[in-house]
Amino acid sequence: MFLEELKVNLKEIIGNKDRPVAVFSALWPLLRASKLSGKELSKEILSILNEILDGRTLLMPAFASGFKDGVCNLDNDPSYTGALSEYFRMQPGTRRTVCPFFSFAVNGTDSEELVELCPKDAWGRGSLYDWMYDNDVKIVTIGTHPTHCSFSHYAEWVMRDLISYRYSKEFSGSVIHEGRKFDVNFNMFVRRLEPMAINDFTWLLKKYKENGMQHRTVEGVSISSMNSKRKIDLITGMIEKDPLVLVKNREDFEGMVKNE
């Protein structure tokens, strides 16, 4: 049975260490394999993850749409990063981190600490991505390409002094979070619009595997796991040697100076 085989393989690649787990997912390949509805499948996958993690902290990207008329309502704005993350966001005990763009749904022993994070720089010191690196979170992908993970952009922030195709832009407004409304200011490391960089991480799969990624296919469904520090350290090392290594249209940026 597909779900049983998936559970066995996820348990093996996630392992039983205490580190938190961040899941990046796309359900459409699993829908085909399981023959379940989206809600039924989300329930089953979350049940599998909860059984494997056994109380460890679980994170999923639950990106919001940003400010609308100056307000971002994180209590009502759905997750724009997949059906599984939205189902997880709506579960009792699950909380949402404070960011009008890159919020995460979280549950487990570290939830209180994560929800209290509200950094000036969305990817900077004291941010969720910074916490994920410091705590060497296990990065897990389910149903999506193993290199498709927004956490990888954290490496670009770390190497921002070498990056010419992104720049810091401030966003401000009000956030509604757990019934409370307050003002926030966030610096985002956004891409230039003209020209716009086209990131390409897919070619990194071989290098990820050489650096500890576990990647398997279960009835056509891709799953993977990798420690966050190894992932980021690998990417930052490559950026140090070639600042345009992650840009597909690199010819548009050759010779361009860093945009402050």
Residue 251, CA atoms < 13 Å, CB-side half-sphere: 0
The answer to whether 46 and 88 are in contact (CB under 8 A) is yes
Which residue in this structure is represented by tokens 């404070």? 98
Number of H helices, E strands in the chain: 9, 10
Q: Is the pLDDT of residue 181 over 50?
A: yes
- Across all residues in the chain, what is the average pLDDT? 93
Q: How far is CA 69 from the centre of its chain?
A: 26
Beta-carbon neighbour count of residue 75 at 10 Å? 13
Percent residues over pLDDT 70 in the chain? 98
Section 189-213 average pLDDT: 93
Rounded CA-CA distance 228/130 in Å is 10
Q: Where are the domains of the chain?
A: 2-252
Per-residue confidence (pLDDT) for residue 173, from 0 to 100: 94
Section 184-199 average pLDDT: 90
Q: Is the pLDDT of residue 260 over 60?
A: no
Section 214-220 average pLDDT: 96
Rg (CA), the chain: 18
Rounded CA-CA distance 260/240 in Å is 18
Section 250-260 average pLDDT: 72
pLDDT tens for each residue of 58-83: 999 999 988 999 999 999 999 999 99
- Look at the pTM and tell me if it is higher than 0.85: yes
Rounded CA-CA distance 102/248 in Å is 24
Reduced to 3 states (helix: H, G, I; strand: E, B; else coil), residue 173 is strand
Per-residue confidence (pLDDT) for residue 168, from 0 to 100: 92
pLDDT tens for each residue of 136-173: 999 999 999 999 999 999 999 999 999 999 999 999 99
